[in-house]
Amino acid sequence: MIPHCIEIELPDEPLVSLKETPEHFAKEIKMLAAVKLFELGRLSSGRAAQLAGIPRVAFLMRLADYRVSPIQLSAEELAADADNA
């Protein structure tokens, strides 16, 4: 699989305010995108981990840093699980 490159133009000020290098900030943006897409149910944990560039287990463990649960069930799915318990 050939990786794709996406360019984002950013002013210098946010990087200076965050005290980030462009390389570190790019990694953080990838992680944030992966977490949000997982949270929205648009990516599985495995695909989100691929996007973030880290192993799936590491991705699942890092979700707590972003206050996102690794268990993404709808209210109906949760109720059905409770009924089957």
- Average pLDDT value for the chain: 90
Read off the pTM: 0.80
Give 42-54 pLDDT, tens digit per residue: 999 999 999 999 9
**Rounded Cα gap, residues 25 and 83, in angstroms:** 44
Instruction: Identify the pLDDT of residue 48.
Output: 97
Residue range(s) defining the domain that contains residue 59: 20-84
Instruction: Identify the pLDDT of residue 60.
Output: 96
- Number of domains into which the chain is organized: 1
Q: Does residue 12 fall inside a structural domain?
A: no
Q: Does residue 80 fall inside a structural domain?
A: yes
Q: Does residue 77 fall inside a structural domain?
A: yes
